[in-house]
């Protein structure tokens, strides 16, 4: 018996009915088929329909924000949120290197440049300490006379730091309140990448609702899904209106004329997807309750093992989208990945850090000590709800 067989056997005991255990599969438990048929019968299957409106209302309520805008996926939501927050070509956007590539792709769509700062080991999300240290030692503040607004600029390039985009990794909240407070001192808007953290909270508040804007994803592997889909949330009515306008091809409302007043995007969520999403959102708390129970089971199992279970950080309540384990080094990590996948138990390493990818390796970054440490050791293990 190899040294990882005990872990593999335990995972199989959590999902005993499965010959192949996926990392995370969707669960359709309620009104999904009913709402889909209703949307089909209505003939409103594209980006206009009652379920799109209902979905936006449900997401705003969950996030604790006044407004929500439905989008076709999480990447488009993040792209649009940064655009309406004022990010422009050649601006700098501070984020973490330990993230899914969609975060940096969305920055690149605008023509802005990412700045990669280190994460905390407790959350695998952007570190407030790293953020404050980098801003203090690498930027200066200036009031732009033409708009009368305080802006933050990078010392060496004189490029504007236009946004900070923290990502709540695997559903574990970053110290988002601290990040927002730091950014307020520098006049930098926060756009939360909450793609993975629907239902997670920090200090009692839902992630996504702390920043100027927040974004969610409803991809097929998320806690709740509509196949594809995303959402922008905000308390700023003007920004919500702007986001809805731009995601609808910037079409000026008119009974029959096709008039567009700026470059727009085909980013609105179809009513069919929204119907599925509404049914899934009705099951959100049930899913999270089971996923948190699975996390407790994993936590207990790993408590006396040589491997570190990646638990929720302080002051947080995580949806435990993906459970994770830290191994002693990259060699041990790779050995477990090979053995577990050969045993039909799907496991995977964390994403390759963005600063190691060819298209992002030349951008500004700090030492990234924790980023590199986690990237070499972290493995996601099966996390599907059991229904």
Do residues 192 and 172 touch, judged by C-beta distance below 8 A? Answer: no
What residue spans define the domains of the chain?
5-26+284-381, 32-281
pLDDT of residue 183: 98
pLDDT of residue 17: 86
Which has the closest alpha carbon to 357: 102, 45, 83, 109? 102
Instruction: Give how far the C-alpha of residue 133 lies from the chain's centroid of Cα atoms, to the nearest Å.
Output: 24
User: How far is it, in rounded angstroms, from Cα 69 to Cα 33?
Assistant: 24
pLDDT of residue 1: 54
pLDDT of residue 276: 98
CB neighbour burial string for 178-213, b if at least 16 within 10 angstroms, e if fewer = bbbebbeebbbbbbbbbbbbbbbbbeeebbbbbbbb
Sign of the C-alpha dihedral computed for residues 82, 83, 85 and 87 taken in this order: positive
Extract the runs of DSSP E, i.e. beta strands, from 177-299. 191-193, 201-202, 205-206, 213-217, 230-234
Task: Give 5-26+284-381's CATH code, choosing from 3.90.25.10, 3.90.1150.10, 1.20.58.110, 3.40.50.2300.
Answer: 3.90.1150.10
CATH class as words, domain 32-281: alpha beta
Neighbours of 53 (CB within 10 A): 14
Model pTM score: 0.95
Per-residue pLDDT of the chain (387 residues; tens, 9 = 90+): 578 999 999 999 999 988 999 999 999 999 999 999 999 999 999 989 999 999 999 999 999 999 999 999 999 999 999 999 999 999 999 999 999 999 999 999 999 999 999 999 999 999 999 999 999 999 999 987 766 688 999 999 999 999 999 999 999 999 999 999 999 999 999 999 999 999 999 999 999 999 999 999 999 999 999 999 999 999 999 999 999 999 999 999 889 999 999 999 999 999 999 999 999 999 999 999 999 999 999 999 999 999 999 999 999 999 999 999 999 999 999 999 999 999 999 999 999 999 999 999 999 999 999 999 999 999 999 999 998
pLDDT of residue 251: 94
User: How far is it, in rounded angstroms, from Cα 170 to Cα 222?
Assistant: 10
- Host H or E run for residue 327: none
Beta strands 149-154; 139-144: pairing state: antiparallel
């Amino acid at each position: 018996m190899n040294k990882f067989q005990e872990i593999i056997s335990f995972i199989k005991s959590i999902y005993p009915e499965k010959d192949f255990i996926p990392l995370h599969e969707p669960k359709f438990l309620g009104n999904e088929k009913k709402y889909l048929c209703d949307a089909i019968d209505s003939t409103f299957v594209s980006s206009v329909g009652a379920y799109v409106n209902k979905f936006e209302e449900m997401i705003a309520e969950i996030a604790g924000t006044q407004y929500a805008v439905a989008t076709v996926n999480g990447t488009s939501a993040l792209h649009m949120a940064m655009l309406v927050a004022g990010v422009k070509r050649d601006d700098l956007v501070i984020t973490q290197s330990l993230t899914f590539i969609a975060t940096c792709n969305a920055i690149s769509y605008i023509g802005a440049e990412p700045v990669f700062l280190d994460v905390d080991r407790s959350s695998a999300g952007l570190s407030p300490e790293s953020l404050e240290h980098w801003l203090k030692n690498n930027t200066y503040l200036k009031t732009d006379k033409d708009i009368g607004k305080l802006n933050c600029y990078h010392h060496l390039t004189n490029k504007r730091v236009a946004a900070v985009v923290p990502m709540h990794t695997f559903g574990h909240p970053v110290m988002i309140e601290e990040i927002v407070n730091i950014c307020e001192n520098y006049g930098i808007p926060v756009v939360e990448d909450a793609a993975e953290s629907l239902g997670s909270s920090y200090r009692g508040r839902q992630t996504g609702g702390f920043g100027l804007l927040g974004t969610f994803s409803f991809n097929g592997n998320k806690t709740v899904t509509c196949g594809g889909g995303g959402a922008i949330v905000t308390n700023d009515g003007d920004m919500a209106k702007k986001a809805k306008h731009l995601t609808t091809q910037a079409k000026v409302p008119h009974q029959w004329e096709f008039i567009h007043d700026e470059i727009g995007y085909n980013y609105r969520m179809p009513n069919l997807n929204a119907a599925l999403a509404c049914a899934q959102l009705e099951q959100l708390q049930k899913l999270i309750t089971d996923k948190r129970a699975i996390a407790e089971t994993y936590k207990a199992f790993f408590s006396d093992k040589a491997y570190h279970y990646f638990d929720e950080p302080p002051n947080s309540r995580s949806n435990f989208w993906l459970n994770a384990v830290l191994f002693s080094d990259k060699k041990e990590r790779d050995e477990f990945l090979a053995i577990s996948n050969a045993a039909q138990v799907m496991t995977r390493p964390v994403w390759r850090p963005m600063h190691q990818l060819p298209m992002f390796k030349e951008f500004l970054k700090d030492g990234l000590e924790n980023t590199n440490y986690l990237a070499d050791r972290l493995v996601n293990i099966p996390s599907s709800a059991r229904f």
